[in-house]
Structure 1
């Protein structure tokens, strides 16, 4: 079984086999085209917001798995970023993840909007836990 740390290490290694080209740049933002050396047809777009230290990639690995992709790592290298940005670390991977505990006790009042927000938060939290468990095993994945 591959751990998250191993997945990140693999993505960093893959960054060594990429090419990068600046597509557009403004004072705060830059857009890159990142391609694999072996397959230049596989083009990924990486956008960097320098003022907010935000990164996004068209492969959506960060959004789907919670880890940064090789394309973003290469863009970070190209931009000479020496510290890992907080925007690329999900809170669930930090030591303080449990400090953001979501209460499982339903609010007891007539504030409908607050009750609905509670429900969304509780469902999202449980869905994240379920995903963390189910993706590791094919039987669990099929069951979910």
Structure 2
């Protein structure tokens, strides 16, 4: 009878050991599934980011090409407008010089006008008093 008890206890211990091993494998399998899901989401995120980077790169290249085209157009327009701008600047300088000259001549003109008016109206005024 002892042998039966010993065989029974050993078989129970072996069964429990196997049960622990099976449960451990089940836990390992669950952990691996969770890691797999995390990795799948990370791969998807990186794929989306890569696609967005490619789209951004294409957009940036297009913007750069448009900017370079606009810059060359503006440089051509500046080269075309520079002589006109220089001409206008000379006209403005001449106008400013004329304005300054007129400003300094204004008191002379006022004095001459007063003298002229005085010479015209003073004789009339003196004749009326006589």
Higher strand share: 1
TM range (shorter): under 0.3
The structure, 1 or 2, with the larger RCO (C-alpha pairs under 8 Å, 6+ apart) is 1
- What TM-score comes out, normalization by structure 2 length? 0.22
- What TM-score comes out, normalization by structure 1 length? 0.20
